[in-house]
Structure 1
């Protein structure tokens, strides 16, 4: 009889402890892993169709999650895209439109005086890591930051190599613009070192949920091959305009580093309670990689400059093997992550994105909504005589763009030129329908002008006295 009682007590205690552990695990907020690759194009990964670049680790995670085929960055180059994602707000609200000066290219080619660019994120803009830290998350930034001098000023507990620098200067020592990281050997690749330190952080986090913003400088220029991978890609056949062997080694190496991170999360038992978002900050550099059939690349507001590879992964919450054609944007990440973490929206905080949590977890359809881009600036051309942009001198001239449903419209401010495309029929934006669809132009233009008024988006009108027309 005593044996039976003891056995019952042991069973009860064991059940209670096990149930307590289970409840503790269930109640613990999920870890958040936000992966933001620099300058990776829409088709620079296997899960978006590339047959030249090899990304097996990224592809495997994408296959187990939800892939988005119409995912966008809120800007077509580094700093403004990152500012939009971290603030959850369109560019007019924070004033970061480009990198450095907005007067890019030769003055004699610029008809308008562009809007002055804000090079730093305003201090009063409450960023995503700040809210997560306030809610009890341990926060880590790994790689490129680009929004102020130190990400520790913006809600991160740990900073691995982040500053206001837009690229490293070199991926081999000395890293030049990343002096805070010391290489263990004379030829240690920067991307590998950033991941080494990110993994150290992951292993050290035990009691608190974590947020890690993994944003490697790669695959941004300078294009410097990972030496042990180069011969393989030099022997590969070009695919769909993709043929840069050095760049391909950088893509594969980023994939390898992400594979290392996923492996550590599995090994430490953290992966099952981790929500993962993967995206790039803007389109691929058109002089280095192609996104065909998308038009143009980084710095342009054609699809090649703003459409991104994206997936979301969350075991037990997101059903794997799904593809969504719903247009989404990195503006949606901030409110989505708060929903995932169970954090209420901060009082007074303006979100220009929408939480995609119901779409991810319940496959609820989102209502059609307009997506907007505003760029009252100039960006000089990367590629000489590039015929994919509006003109060969600039990737971008001052203007705005929007997408609603299948329709995409671009308005340029210099001469009020309008371009209208049906992306369902013309994903390559080859056929400007503005003259054939005047009613659609007026409908979209009215929405765009209303949006600019509501957000205080500046429209440059002052003529540049140094401009020389049709030289």
Structure 2
């Protein structure tokens, strides 16, 4: 009798545990590649068509001051997954930090790390340890194999930052499928198959990181008719518009799969992009510049949080939030208290109450980029580089840029000058001193590597 009672109690305990696990919220991060701040209808675009995304974000809160912690793919993704500033993990760019011609680089940049150190316990690892099924669908970019970093299932992720082609053969993206399938469509199909295979006795974490809308810009022929006679404020690339619209359609397929499985209402969703849109492909007016730049067009991104019956729908917030904040926020969502120290701040309570404490309101946001990135343009006021070694800080309405080559400083009031056109550094010396002091303290605390060594190959062009 005692043995039977023990078996019954064990059964009840296991049933209770499984039931508790199944009720924990599922987590979905939608991280679009290179989608600019103004590349969706809900952010003001009248050219790109994103009805599914627009409807989805209306069910939650949209952050108009959403940021990536870096202005291009690899470092931004490393920040999102580790919750740490680039000064911690050492991924500052894609490939080498010495981009462009050596003769144009006055300083020797810090060496870039291209593979995320496995000593960092990233988001999926902690979730997996706490009972979550984990899947990455699409772009990984941190190493050769995401399965070594806490993912149970990998759908097309590798070290590749973009496919050789969106049409088969995809070249550097290894994924089997029909020989006519557009790559993002194949990824979402396999993602739906994955969701269907899951049992409802445990929560899941899905990191949906489509390769789109990154280059190569390859149109979706069936959607071209929609944009034949459209264009708006510099957004005129019709092939790119079909890629945006197709990604919207794929998100619709994903949402439908969640609905049919009966788990959408219990899924916490983050919608964002990994960095600003690529200048020359899309346009972020009134923001200045784009991907690879540390002006607002390079780091400000579309951002929304959705959680049915928990987050009030139809809200908009101007609170500055960064993808560093995802990690601690999701720990709160999942009810996990034991996880590594991170640099981001949880916005969990704010999402539920719409009330922000001083920690969130007053905190500075930092960007450190001890590297060079070629591709300058008129928006960066630099014909050679999108990025030269430097750092930026935003606190309140104020944003300061400091560049190491010439020790120059730019100061902008984003409330009155969102386009960063009017440098107030000469008029606001006290504000410059305040922000530079904060940045110096932060660099010391995070062991930011200095960029001071001169490059012997450098040839001055201002003689």
TM-score (norm 2): 0.94
- Whether the 8 Å contact between 2:21 and 2:203 is mirrored in structure 1 is no
Note if 1:380 corresponds to 2:371.
no
For 2:167 and 2:395, the matched residues in 1 are separated by 44
Count of residues paired in the alignment: 444
Note if 1:89 corresponds to 2:84.
yes
Counterpart pick for 2:295 among 293, 296, 302: 302
Where do residues 44-443 of structure 1 align in structure 2 (5 Å cutoff)?
44-179=39-174, 181-184=175-178, 186-206=179-199, 207-233=201-227, 235-346=228-339, 349-367=340-358, 368-381=362-375, 386-443=377-434
| Corresponding residue for residue 5 of structure 2 | none
For 2:458 and 2:194, the matched residues in 1 are separated by 52
For 1:406 and 1:366, the matched residues in 2 are separated by 17
For 1:431 and 1:33, the matched residues in 2 are separated by 39
For 1:309 and 1:217, the matched residues in 2 are separated by 17
For 1:265 and 1:361, the matched residues in 2 are separated by 23
For 1:136 and 1:52, the matched residues in 2 are separated by 43
- Whether the 8 Å contact between 1:413 and 1:459 is mirrored in structure 2 is no
Aligned with 1:421: secondary structure? Answer: strand
- Whether the 8 Å contact between 1:137 and 1:208 is mirrored in structure 2 is yes
- Whether the 8 Å contact between 1:326 and 1:366 is mirrored in structure 2 is no
| Corresponding residue for residue 16 of structure 1 | none
For 1:452 and 1:108, the matched residues in 2 are separated by 28
Where do residues 32-51 of structure 1 align in structure 2 (5 Å cutoff)?
32-51=27-46
For 2:23 and 2:117, the matched residues in 1 are separated by 32
Unaligned runs of 5+ in 2: 1-14
| Deviation for aligned residue 1:204 | 1.1
For 1:139 and 1:226, the matched residues in 2 are separated by 30
| Deviation for aligned residue 1:24 | 3.7
Task: Tell me the C-alpha RMSD between the 2 structures.
Answer: 1.5
- Whether the 8 Å contact between 2:79 and 2:323 is mirrored in structure 1 is yes
For 1:26 and 1:394, the matched residues in 2 are separated by 50
- Whether the 8 Å contact between 2:21 and 2:202 is mirrored in structure 1 is no
| Deviation for aligned residue 1:123 | 1.1
| Corresponding residue for residue 451 of structure 1 | 442
- Whether the 8 Å contact between 1:52 and 1:236 is mirrored in structure 2 is no
Note if 1:461 corresponds to 2:435.
no
For 1:199 and 1:25, the matched residues in 2 are separated by 24
What per-residue deviation string (whole Å, max 9, x for no partner) do you get for residues 176-202 of structure 1? 1112x1121x32100000000100111
Aligned with 1:426: secondary structure? Answer: coil
For 1:408 and 1:302, the matched residues in 2 are separated by 9
